[in-house]
Structures are given as structure tokens and as C-alpha cells.
Structure 1
């Protein structure tokens, strides 16, 4: 089957979210902005792998990870495929996206991960969760926007500012890793990470044939 088909369209507290099938791939649109699709999950998998690799060696086995944003499910599925993660928490604010995974076509990507006993899905806003939850994690893998400089809603902008990064640090165990997906590199965000007290700040890129590469920004909470 070719062409684009709208499979579901919903109005929620944060605006409109749409699930479409374009040829053999699925894509998610939020308030008219393309978020992600199932054509290439390399950068979503890098988000998980880079966080795991940046953890101190003694912490890697049994580490806990928070995945911010369920999306098309690549990050969750990749985390669940790695037995080193001991607890996998996914925070997703859009009920529609959770439904598409539990009862819709995206279950083909995330079904096994959702059935994994290590996985918990929280239907809540990530920014609120980071500010109010008492839970801590060894890694935060965040992918809720197109990057620190291109947020889906204005409310998300605070996540990448000093107050949001302080909330991230508070949710991390000592030596924990913050990994943030972005559709383009951001030198300003790297500076913000350093100013917030994160160490070992760096950016890993996914090579592309042309255009700007997807990246993962990384920082470590000091011991």
C-alpha cells in the first residue's frame, strides 16, 4: 500500500496528535509538527546505548532508566532488549500515544517491551514528573521534542533551562547519566549542561547521507 493514511486523530490537553501511515511506515504529528516515524530508529537506540555506556561500570548491571517520551517505541523496545536494565520507566503525557502502543498498530514495535515485567508506563507530563517525583534513576533518556531549540509546546522549554536541568539532576543517582535526543546539535545546550553542573558533557551524532545529523547530548551527574 502506498500513500499517506490518517489512522487516528485526537484532541488532548496539549493539542492535536495524529497517527499516520506513510507507505509502510508510521509517523506521529503533534499540533501540525512532525515528531518522528518508524523509518529509522538508529538515533533512538543510540539514546539508550549511549546512556548505558556512560554509566560507571559497577552501575551498568541492574541500572534503572527513565525514558521520557514513548514516541514510536524504538527507545523502549531497545531498552527492554538489553538485560542490563533492571527497571524501565516510560513517561508519556499523550493518552493517544499510549493507546496506539497498547491496542493499536504501534504494538508491533513495543508489544514485547510492554509485556516485560521491568517496564512501567506513567501517563503524566515529563516536566511535572521530574519536578515532583521522589523517584531517582541511573539514567534519564529524554526524547519529547525535536531538540532543546525546537520544542513541541512552550511548556517544554523550561526542561532545557537551568530549572529543568536542576530537576533532572535531582532525579539522577550520583554518577547518573542525562541523555537528550535532538534533531540537530546545540552548542548552547552543551553550555547549559556544564553550567548546571553536569560533567563529561559531549554530543554523539548519527551520520546521515546529507543534512544535519540527529544527535544525543550527554552529561553525568557528579558522584
Structure 2
């Protein structure tokens, strides 16, 4: 969710809303759309490689024989992860959890529809307006997924709001593990590598913990942390 190499142009505010978690803003900088939450840059439409990797790596980590796997995407964002999942016929159910009503609206009827229109029309897709942290801790009865692809912060150590930190705590990771089917995969996007988070995943009972990186124009690479629930 870090900014990529975009030619500088003054940003223009498309819409600004106040919600239960603070202010969220959609800005346009030239041809690029940006989402800002409480003054913190989240993501933009300039690249999207690491957001697509989040889904690609999770799918590749699943056993080849698993049919119609269900994926939960945490954070709609600018829509790259959802669009990627909908492009892949192997996925069965695609559930997206987004806590900001404004972000959902910008995809359904606003400028971000250009990214997600086809994915939202896909019959496999369901968009849930909810706080991901709360949903993971208290999931609907019977909820289980083959993959959790989480991208709601700039990383486990760089959260958008303080309460998001609970997702990466021992209790939060244990809840993620319980939401996965045996052999399921947890994929977590981060703006920087974190050996401490890899250790936390192992301590939470995950197996096969590893990271995949995507180089960015400047600074450290974006990272997807991957971990498996024991089969």
C-alpha cells in the first residue's frame, strides 16, 4: 500500500467522508486514484502488482486438487485483489470484507468501478460491509475459508487505526487460523518485510511460513507473508 513512482501532480479531492473510523478521502492525481484514511496514504491505482500477488500466491499455495476454494479478501481498497480473484476461474466463493461504506460506494457507483466492475458483477463475489477484525474474532456460524488474503493496513507494524493491531496479535492470528479450513493459507500484505511477524505466525501454529517480495521504484520491497494451517 505504499506509493509507487508516479509523476508528481497536485492531488484533487474527488470525495471526502467522515465515518465511524475517521475520515476517508478519494483523491485523483493525474490518472491515478488514491485512498487516504485519517491523513494516511493507503493505496493507489498506479501499479497493483503486489495486491495481485496477494491473491496469486495464496491460490498457488493451496493443494492442486482442492476444488472451488473459498477466499476471503480483507479490504476492498482500490480493487486490484478482488479483480485478480475474479479473473481466476479456480476460485469458488469470493468474499470481500470492507469496513468503509465510502470505499464500497466508490466501487459500485464511483471512479473505482473501472477497476472492479466485472469482479463485482461476478456471481461468485459477495461484498460484506463489516470490520474485518471483528468478523475474524466473531465469524458468522459455519464460516470457513480456504484462503484469507488480508490487506487492511500498511503492514502488521504500521496499522491504519490502533484497533487493527489486534489482528496481528496472538489472539488475532489464532482466530485467523480457526477461520481457515485444514490446509488453508493465510496471506498478509505488508509494505516492508518483518521477521518478527514471521515468528508470530509460527508461534500461532502456522506452518510453511515464508514471504514473497515485489520490488518497488524506491525503498524496501512490498511483501506478502504466507502461512498454512496444518492439513
* Structure 2 unaligned residues grouped into runs of 5+: 1-8
| 1:104 paired to 2:95 | no
Separation in 1, partners of 2:23, 2:216: 30
Alignment: residue pair count: 221
Shift of 1:209: 3.9
| Number of the residue aligned with 1:49 | 56
TM-score, L = length of structure 1: 0.98
The 1-side partners of 2:208 and 2:123 are apart by 32
* 1:173 aligned residue (177, 181, 187): 181
| Partner residue, 1:216 | 224
From 4, 10, 21, give the equivalent of 1:14: 21
- 1:85 aligns to what SS in structure 2? coil
User: Out of 1, 6, 11, which is 1:4 matched to?
Assistant: 11
Note if 1:69 corresponds to 2:113.
Answer: no
| Structure 1 segment 42-191 matched on structure 2, within 5 A | 42-59=49-66, 61-133=67-139, 134=141, 135-191=143-199
1:25 pairs, out of 32, 42, 66, with 32
Return the offset for 1:210. Answer: 3.3
| Cα shift at 1:208 | 2.7
Between 119-128 and 202-211, report the one with greater CA deviation: 202-211
Deviation at 1:93, TM superposition (A): 0.2
Q: Where do 5+ consecutive residues of structure 1 fail to align?
A: none
Q: State the distance in 2 between where 1:192 and 1:176 align.
A: 18
The correspondence for 1:35, drawn from 37, 42, 47, is 42
Shift of 1:101: 0.2
| Corresponding residue of 2:4 | none
Please give the alpha-carbon distance, in whole angstroms, between the structure 1 residues aligned to 2:50 and 2:80: 9
CA drift of 1:102 comes to 0.4
Task: Please state how far the C-alpha of 1:12 moved relative to its aligned partner.
Answer: 0.3
SS of the residue corresponding to residue 93 of structure 2 reads strand
Give the whole-Å Cα distance in 2 for the aligned partners of 1:127 and 1:145. Answer: 12
- Equivalent-residue separation in structure 1 for 2:30 and 2:200 (angstroms): 40
Counterpart in the other structure of 1:199: 207
1:57 CA drift (Å): 1.4
CA distance in 2, matches of 1:210, 1:90: 30
TM-score (norm: length of structure 2): 0.94
